[in-house]
A and B are shown apart, each in its own frame.
Chain A
Amino acid sequence: MKSFKLILNVWRQKSGNADGKFVRYEVPDVSEHMSFLEMLDVLNEALIGRGEQPVAFDHDCREGICGMCGFMINGDAHGPLPGTTVCQLHMRHFHDGQELWLEPWRARAFPVVRDLMVNRSAFDRVIAAGGFVSVNTGGVPDGNTLPIGKLDADRAMDAAACIGCGACVAMCPNSAAALFTGAKISHLGLLPQGQPERNTRAERMVTQMHAEGFGHCTSTGECEAVCPKHIKLEVIARMNADFLRAKLRSRD
């Protein structure tokens, strides 16, 4: 098993109000089989052993499906590998003596909680504004009573793959949440269940997105490039189309 040395410059910040700074750490024996988060676990064990505060970072499933983890590695959201979260990024993609800079997602809408952890509840509020379908419960409908075309079903599923990690916001030069919101709007709006609320959904989610302090889309494609779930830029166009349509059709 190959092991090597890494030099990390980690953003350390005690709390949201405190000033942060980079602190340099050396991790002497990194195994190429470790995930990036396991490598940080090793660093944290060493820090705890020395009586220092461990580096705080968000994580949960560690299999790339929950959306909890994520930070910038040398300015790339989730690191250099496309289509993956930082927990599924393995150390074999790095080399001996490499110096890495770890920074939290930086956006006004994502205030730092501590070190590499940010508060992403702004996403929750965007969802609460309209990222749902209202269903009155009752008898279970018969199977296949709602015909859904294969292509629409596939596209809805592709959009539904969004795990809400926030990498799109972090990578966007304008801190836009367009890819996230577009994914939710596309996921619901492509299905028949999403039609009754399609217009109000777009209006409310876009308005909430603005209120949370997310920026505008300049179609640079940075979000698409780092999205661990390969959400496509076309969801943003769909969000824009739904919003414009909603504004035109609104009778309020």
Chain B
Amino acid sequence: MKSTMSVTSRRLASFYQTAVGKKAVMAVTGLILFLWLVLHVLGNLQIFLGRDQINRYSAFLHATPEALWPVRIILIVAIVLHINSAVLLYLQKVKNRPIGYTKKGNRGATVMSRTMMWSGFALLVFIILHLLHMTTGTIHKDFIAGDVFHNLTFAFHQPTVVALYVLAMALLAMHLYHGLYSFTQSLGVSNPRHTSRIKPLAAAFAIVMASLFALVPIAVLAGFVH
């Protein structure tokens, strides 16, 4: 048993040690996080069905910890691995070019692709603030546990809060656009026939996803949610 363990850990180490291995981990965990965003936005949009509907949905989630906690654990593991890979790769990258270029051209790399580390970091900060705001209520000015409708509408009547959420969603769109394209590269899906479609598709997913998230704070602020 002991020897099998060491062989397994040696295998994992030799896989994760390479940049290709880390990128594969980043791709899979990124995809998990994206799929979870789909669930999250479907929950959010229930606010348009009224106070009772969204509060009932929240009560349902909290009443079924056997569904809630496995999802939370998967998410935490995915986020930790995603960030761990990103940070290790970034530190490696800095080390790999000790003397930088005095002049550096750009031959078409998108802003999104060049700022993944920073949009990712900003999103991490947002996620922490968002959890303190809407899950624990620590930084919410009038948090009522269980009354999601109230918590949302109260928060999103403050224009600065709405502006911050919308800004975060713009960053999410940038991160998702490049992430949804590059995960196919990282996992080795290569067919030029598909590649030409993957980028527009990634852009569409990123924009739709971020817009649906941003819709809730904007709609509340504009007075469309009663």
Contact = CB atoms under 8 A, between A and B. Distances in A.
Interface of A: 20, 22, 72, 74-76, 80, 82, 101, 103, 106-109, 171, 173-176, 206-207, 209-210, 213-222, 225-226, 232-245, 247, 250, 252
A240 B18 contact: no
Interface of B: 11, 14-15, 17-24, 89, 92-93, 95-110, 113-114, 116, 178, 181-182, 184-192, 195
A250 B23 contact: no
A219 B96 contact: no
A173 B104 CA distance: 9
Contacts of A173: 93, 109, 114
Top 10 A-B residue pairs of the complex, sorted by shortest distance between their CB atoms: A241-B188, A237-B190, A75-B105, A216-B19, A225-B107, A220-B109, A219-B182, A75-B103, A76-B105, A240-B188
Nearest to A250: B11
6 contacts: A108-B98, A209-B19, A215-B93, A216-B92, A220-B113, A243-B18
Contact of B20 (A213, A218, A234, A240): A240
Contacts of B15: 247
Given A215-B93, A219-B178, A247-B21, A240 B107 contact: no
A243 B105 CA distance: 31
Contacts, number: 145
A149 to B, nearest CB: 15
Task: Describe B's contact surface by its main secondary structure.
Answer: helix
A107 B185 CA distance: 23
B181 A219 contact: yes
Nearest to B184: A237
B18 A206 contact: yes
A243 B20 contact: yes
Given A216-B22, A234-B195, A244 B96 contact: no
Contact of A225 (B21, B108, B195): B108
Given A207-B18, A219-B181, A222-B107, A241 B190 contact: yes
A208 to B, nearest CB: 10
B117 to A, nearest CB: 9
A232 B99 CA distance: 28
Nearest to A243: B20
Nearest to A111: B98
Contacts of B103: 72, 74-75, 101, 103
Nearest to A102: B103
Contacts of A101: 102-103
Contacts of A107: 96-97
Contact of A240 (B101, B185, B191): B185
B109 A213 contact: no
Nearest to B27: A240
B96 A232 contact: no
Given A72-B103, A175-B97, A221-B108, 20 more contacts: A75-B105, A80-B105, A106-B99, A106-B101, A108-B96, A171-B107, A215-B19, A215-B97, A216-B19, A216-B92, A216-B93, A217-B19, A219-B113, A220-B113, A222-B109, A234-B192, A237-B190, A240-B188, A241-B189, A244-B20
